[in-house]
Copies of this chain bind each other. A is one copy, B any other.
Amino acid sequence: MNPLTSPLLTDLYQLNMIQAYLEHGDTETAVFEFFVRKLPARRGFLMAAGLEQALEFLEHFRFTDEEIDWLAGTERFNQDLLDELADFRFTGDVHAMPEGRIFFTNEPILRVTAPLPQAQLMETRLINLLHFQSLIASKAARMVLAAPGKLLVDFGLRRAHGAEAGLLAARASYIAGFAGTATMLAEHDFGIPIYGTMAHSFVQAYDSETAAFESFARARPNNLTLLIDTYDTEAGARRAVALAPELATRGIKVRAVRLDSGDMIALSKAVRRILDDGGLPDVAIFASGGLDEDNMREMLAAGAPIAGFGIGTSLTTSTDVAALDCAYKLQEYAGIARRKRSTGKATWPGRKQVWRRYGADGHMAGDILSLDSDHQAGEPLIEQVMKDGRHIKPSPSLADVRALAAHDLERLPQPLRDLDPQAHYHVEVADALKHLAAKVDERIAQSEGVA
C-alpha cells in the first residue's frame, strides 16, 4: 500500500463522527473552509500552495477492499459505516485561491462544499497537504526576496520530514521562485529543474583533493562545479585554478566552485580573488551549508561575490516557523451559517470570498473578506476548481503558477517585503459578514438557553 494515498491517513475521530452522522441522518450539505488564523512571527504574508495535490487527493479518494476488511476487523465500526466507506467517493465542489497567490489571515484558500460526512472525512489530509506546501512556499518567498536575482536551489531533501515533505518542498519552493532542486524525484514527478555537484565524501575518497577534482571532471565534464572546502577552502580554490589549464586542453571548463562551510563573506571574497588572479573570472561561486534568508541577506549586503545558494534544512523544514496556525472549519451546514466560538479560535461563518484592491503603483492596497454573495470592489481571489468531485478545468502548469507567484511578489507592498515586516496588511471584514457572525452567536445562545 502507498501510505500517501491511503484513506486511513486520517484521524480516528473522523470515522467516529461519520458513523454518528450516518446514524443520525446528518448528510446535508456542509461548507468547510481552510484558512490561517494568525501570522507567525516575522511573517507579513503567506503564499498558497498544495492545491494540486489536494484536488488529486479528493478525486482519487477511495478505500481498498483490504482497508475495509481491516476496518471491519477492528470491530470499532458498524456495518452501515463499512458499507458506506466501501463505495465512498468525493462528489463535492471546491473553490480555492490559485497556487502561488499571496494570502493573509482569515482568508480561506480552499472551500469544500459536500455532504457533511464527505467534507468531514477529507479534513485531516487536506490540512496536511495545504499546510505544508503553503508553509514552505511562504518560507521560500522570503528567500527569493532576500536574494533577488540569485540562483536559489533546494538542497533540503535529507533533513526534510520524510519522503513526501522532501518532494513537495521542492515543488513549493519552485513555485515561490527557486531555480530548482537537487531532488531527482522532483524532476521525474514535476519537471522541476535539478542541480547537483559533489559531496565531501567524494573528495575524501581520493588520496588528494586534486585527484578527486580530476576524477570528477572526467566523469562530469559539463556544468562542472568543484566543492573546495573539504580540507581548506583557499587551498581548494588554488587547486581548482592549477587544474583548470589542463582540463581546458580536454575541453572541460570549470563552471563554478562551491563553498559549504566557514565565514562565507571572507571566504567568498578570498576565493573570488584567487579565481580572478588565476585567470578564471567567469567561474561562479556557489554557497551552501546552514543558509537561510537572514544570512544570505547579510552576505549579499556585505558584498559577498556569490552567484547562487543551495539552501537545505531552513527551507524544507521552515526551521524558524515549523507550522502555521491553520484550520479547516465548518462554516455552514444545511443552509445555516455556523461558527466556532472557542476562546481565541472564533471563526467567520458562511461561504466567503476575498477581494483585493491595488494602488496606482500596482501594489496590493488591501483586501476585503466578504460573504461569497456580497460583491465588493477589487479582484476576487477565490474561484471554483472542482465540481461534483471532478476538476472543472486543467490545472495550471507549474510555469504558470510560478509566474503568478512572481507577479504577486512584485505587487507586495514595500513594508511587507522586509524580512521583518514593517506593517500589517489590511484585511477588512465586510459589514454583512459581521452581521452574520452576530446572528449566528444569537442563535447559538438561544438554542442552548444561555447568554
Contacts and interface: CB of A to CB of B under 8 A. Distances in A.
A341 B231 CA distance: 5
Interface string A313-326: 10001110011101
Contact of A23 (B194, B219, B262, B317): B219
Given A159-B326, A230-B340, A23 B218 contact: yes
A355 B190 CA distance: 47
B17 A199 contact: yes
Interface in A166-206: 166-169, 182-185, 187-189, 194-202, 204-206
Given A161-B162, A218-B24, A185 B448 contact: no
Contact of A17 (B3, B202, B263, B345): B202
Contacts of A24: 215, 218-219
Contacts of A218: 20, 23-24
B9 A167 contact: yes
Given A166-B9, A220-B19, A124 B157 contact: yes
Among A184, A210, A317, residue most surrounded by chain B Cβ atoms (within 10 Å): A184
Contacts of A2: 2, 4
Given A124-B158, A160-B161, A10 B230 contact: no
A7 B55 CA distance: 26
Contacts of A263: 343
B342 A230 contact: yes
B128 A162 contact: yes
Contacts of A450: 232, 235
Contacts of A155: 11
A116 interface: yes
A318 B323 CA distance: 10
A167 B124 CA distance: 12
B127 A329 contact: no
Among A116, A202, A261, A447, residue most surrounded by chain B Cβ atoms (within 10 Å): A202
B26 A205 contact: yes
A158 B123 contact: yes
Nearest to A333: B205
A195 B448 contact: no
Contacts of A330: 200-201, 204-205
B342 A229 contact: yes
Given A10-B184, A200-B340, A20 B219 contact: yes
A339 B204 contact: yes
A164 B3 contact: yes
A184 B123 contact: no
A426 to B, nearest CB: 27
A337 B67 CA distance: 50
Given A16-B219, A74-B187, A132-B161, 9 more contacts: A4-B4, A11-B158, A13-B196, A13-B199, A127-B158, A230-B342, A232-B450, A235-B450, A261-B344
Interface of A: 2-4, 6, 8-17, 19-21, 23-24, 26, 30, 32, 67, 70, 74, 116, 120, 123-125, 127-129, 131-132, 135, 155, 157-169, 182-185, 187-189, 194-202, 204-210, 215-216, 218-220, 229-233, 235, 239, 260-263, 313, 317-319, 322-324, 326, 329-330, 333, 338-345, 444, 447-448, 450
7 contacts: A3-B4, A23-B219, A124-B158, A204-B339, A231-B444, A239-B448, A317-B317
